[in-house]
Amino acid sequence: MKKIFVLNGPNLNLLGKRQPEIYGYETLADVAANCRKVGEEFSLDCDFRQSNHEGELVDWIHEAREDAAGIIINPGAYSHTSVAIYDALSAFEGPVIEVHISNTHKREAFRHHSYVSLRADGVIAGCGVEGYSLATRRMGGLVK
C-alpha cells in the first residue's frame, strides 16, 4: 500500500451541514470513507485530514515530503489567497491533484484564480464530491 494525503482546508468540516445547493448533502466523513474505498482498489492508503488553519495545512504538506507518495488537496478559500500553501506544495516532489467540489470558474471572480493550480498536476472542479473519487483514481495511476 502506498500512502497518499487527502487534505481539506477551511470550512469543509461543514460539508453536508450547510449550503447543500452548492456543496451537496454528503458529509466530509462520507467523502473520507469513499476515498478510502476507491483508494483500496489502487492499493492506496488515504490519510484524510481537514484543518481550518493555514499553518497546519503547511505542516501537513511538509510531513507529506517524508510520508506520502502524492497529495490530493481541496484548499478551500486558501486556494485563492495562500502563497504559503503554494510554496509548501512546490517543495513536495510527488504528484498533486487539486479538487474543488463546486465549479469555481462559474462563481465569483475572486474564486477564478488559484495559487495551488500553479503547482497542481491536475485540477478537478465542479464534479461535486465525486471529484475526490476521480482524483483518487487518477492518483492510483500516477503513483503505482
Binding site for ligand CA2 (CB under 6 A): 11-12, 14-15, 18-19, 23, 74, 76-77, 79, 100-102, 104, 111
- Rounded CA-CA distance 21/35 in Å is 22
80 labelled ligand-binding: yes
Give 18 or 141: the residue with its C-beta nearer to ligand CA2: 18
Of 1 and 14, CB closest to ligand CA2:
14
Q: Which residues contact 18 (CB under 8 A, 6 or more apart)?
A: none
Min CB(144)–ligand CA2 separation in Å: 27
* 112 annotated binding-site participant: no
Confirm if 35 and 73 have CB atoms less than 8 A apart.
no
Instruction: Tell me whether residue 65 is annotated as binding.
Output: no
**Strands, E assignment, the chain:** 2-8, 44-50, 70-74, 96-100, 122-125
Tell me the C-alpha distance between 31 and 111, whole Å.
Answer: 23
Q: Between residues 68 and 74, which has the closer beta carbon with respect to ligand CA2?
A: 74
* Active site residue ranges: 23, 100
